[in-house]
């Protein structure tokens, strides 16, 4: 089966989730992803969800870590002259390099875009950082929570009476940074087909998150009014676009925005007096819906609404998500056989391509699992490779 990114060679310098998610997406569709990892000394393991574990004790963790699937790993000390030399050998035949360091780090290591492009002008080199490669915040440290704060997302999540609600790190690290990096890389590869040249792709997670606020920003530019937490149509102001507790303490989401969905909700619950919706009934409708949904369990309500044209869904905990029939039908749970861990489940591939679908071809590697193989492919002899191991250049 053909994969759309077959033959695209990616060097992955990621240490944390955003860039690793990007290369996971590329790998799922056939790219040859090689993780360039830092050798680990002693028992200390660097922080970061994309850093490969070592040895048999790390086998189970690696097997279940979807971020590193479809990748190989070489442990290479980029701070050594020999390590930097090996990296540049690999970079000469690479199509893509992605790094997630703070601006300036790759320049100090001598593995930045300019130094690579001298030997490989076709390289697509993606730098993924919190605030971007320029601007007054370029060297400021941060994480997902900081980026979604500055971009305005955190300020609109939560109800009007409370403080902002932290939405895990899915908005900045994954939907923003990782996905935008993958998109930028693919566009640059398409551009290379037209111009024959590679380029530097500068992705700021803060920029990416702000781009996700396109609808809200458009409204602000139009009216001059900033959306307030819990007070706009899609952040909790509407009783028919909200979350309600059921009698068993579980929750349902109701999203009946269009008039026909709204009327269907009201007629199904016997609230015809709320048709049509007007601001004067808002609080009364909130009170009625809250009381109504407390009359049955969540699953009883789902059965009650079955077959009715009403936008209502269960609010799942993650342990319920992967048993949902729609999730299973769409292949969003994949099962792989691991030689040491047996059957391993991972989250599936979101984009469904009819002719060239993505595939989980291999599970995550251990740190340096492919070091000897990669160095051998570069022409190093067994003796030279052993010297590198002994000298700490590789692991």
Q: Taking the CA of residue 214 as centre, how many other CA atoms within 13 Å lie in the half-sphere pointing to its CB?
A: 4
143 classed as catalytic: yes
CA distance 313 to 311: 7
Residue 163 inside a domain? The answer is: yes
Q: In the predicted model, is pLDDT for residue 99 greater than 80?
A: yes
Residue 230 inside a domain? The answer is: no
For 56-69, give the DSSP string. GGGHHHHHH-GGGT
- Among 294, 316, 338, the domain boundary falls at 316
Residue 229 inside a domain? The answer is: no
Q: Which residues of 180-205 are buried (b: 16+ CB within 10 A; e: fewer)?
A: bbbebbbebbeebeeeeebbbbbbbb
- Among 289, 316, 343, the domain boundary falls at 316
**Whether 250 and 180 share a structural domain:** no
**Whether 306 and 335 share a structural domain:** no
Q: In the predicted model, is pLDDT for residue 372 greater than 80?
A: yes
**Whether 112 and 201 share a structural domain:** yes
**Whether 82 and 193 share a structural domain:** yes
Q: Is the peptide bond before 196 cis (omega within 30 degrees of 0)?
A: no
Look up tokens 């191991």; give the residue: 389
Q: What percent of the chain has pLDDT over 90?
A: 91
Residue 395 to residues 234, 365, 388: CA-CA distances in angstroms? 51, 14, 8
Residue 222 inside a domain? The answer is: no
What is the mean pLDDT of the segment spanning 285-296? 98
Q: In the predicted model, is pLDDT for residue 161 greater than 90?
A: no
Residues 343-359: tens digit of each pLDDT: 999 999 999 999 999 99
Q: In the predicted model, is pLDDT for residue 324 greater than 80?
A: yes
**What is the per-residue pLDDT for 48?**
64
**What is the per-residue pLDDT for 337?**
93
**Whether 380 and 272 share a structural domain:** no
Check which CATH number belongs to the domain holding 273 and give it. 3.30.1540.10
- Domain holding 156, by residue range, is 9-212+330-391
Residue 228 inside a domain? The answer is: no
Cβ–Cβ < 8 Å for 231, 160: yes
**What is the per-residue pLDDT for 160?**
86
**What is the per-residue pLDDT for 47?**
62
Please tell me which residue in 12, 112, 144, 173 is annotated as part of the active site: 173
Residue 218 inside a domain? The answer is: no
CA distance 395 to 5: 29
Pairing assessment for the beta strands 124-129 and 96-99 based on DSSP bridges:
parallel
Residue 184 inside a domain? The answer is: yes
Look up tokens 């051998």; give the residue: 376
Domain count across the chain: 2
CA distance 358 to 77: 32
**pTM (two decimals):** 0.94
Residues 219-243: tens digit of each pLDDT: 999 999 998 898 888 899 999 999 9
Residue 350 inside a domain? The answer is: yes
Backbone angles phi, psi at 318, to 5 degrees: -60, -30
CA distance 382 to 388: 10
- Among 316, 349, 379, the domain boundary falls at 316
329 classed as catalytic: no
Please tell me which residue in 119, 134, 143, 382 is annotated as part of the active site: 143
**Whether 36 and 175 share a structural domain:** yes
């Amino acid at each position: 089966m053909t994969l759309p990114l077959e033959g695209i060679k990616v060097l992955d310098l990621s240490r944390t989730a955003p860039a690793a998610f990007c290369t996971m997406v590329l790998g799922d569709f056939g790219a040859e992803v090689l993780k360039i990892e830092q050798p680990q000394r002693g028992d200390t393991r660097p922080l970061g969800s994309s850093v490969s574990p070592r040895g048999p004790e790390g086998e189970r963790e690696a097997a279940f870590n979807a971020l590193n699937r479809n990748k190989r790993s070489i442990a290479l000390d980029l701070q050594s002259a020999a390590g930097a030399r090996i990296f540049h050998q690999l970079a000469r035949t690479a199509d893509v390099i992605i790094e997630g360091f703070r601006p300036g780090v790759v320049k100090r290591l001598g593995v930045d875009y300019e130094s690579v492009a001298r030997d490989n002008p076709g390289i697509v080199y993606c730098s993924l950082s919190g605030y971007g490669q320029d601007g007054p915040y370029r060297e400021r440290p941060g994480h997902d929570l900081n980026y979604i704060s500055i971009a305005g997302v955190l300020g609109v999540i939560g109800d009007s009476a409370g403080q902002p609600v932290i939405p895990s790190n899915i908005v900045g690290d994954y939907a923003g940074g990782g996905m935008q990096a993958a998109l930028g890389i693919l566009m640059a590869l398409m551009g290379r087909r037209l111009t024959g040249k590679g380029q530097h792709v500068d992705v700021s997670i803060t920029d990416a998150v702000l781009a996700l606020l396109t609808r809200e920003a458009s409204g602000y530019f139009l009216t001059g009014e900033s959306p307030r937490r819990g007070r706009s149509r899609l952040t909790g102001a509407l009783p028919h676009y909200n979350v309600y507790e059921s009698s068993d303490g579980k929750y349902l989401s109701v999203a009946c925005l269009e008039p026909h969905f709204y009327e269907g909700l009201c007629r199904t619950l016997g609230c015809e007096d709320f048709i049509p919706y007007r601001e004067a009934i808002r609080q009364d409708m909130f009170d009625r819906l809250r009381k109504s949904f407390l009359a049955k369990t969540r699953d009883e309500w789902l059965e009650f609404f079955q077959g009715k044209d009403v936008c209502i869904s269960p609010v799942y905990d993650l342990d319920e998500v992967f048993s949902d029939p729609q999730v299973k039908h769409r292949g969003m749970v994949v099962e792989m056989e691991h030689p040491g861990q047996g059957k391993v489940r991972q989250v599936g591939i979101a984009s469904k391509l009819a002719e060239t679908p993505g595939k989980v071809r291999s599970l995550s590697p251990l740190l340096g699992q492919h070091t000897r193989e990669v160095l051998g492919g570069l022409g190093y002899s067994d003796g030279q490779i052993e010297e590198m191991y002994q000298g700490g250049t590789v692991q």
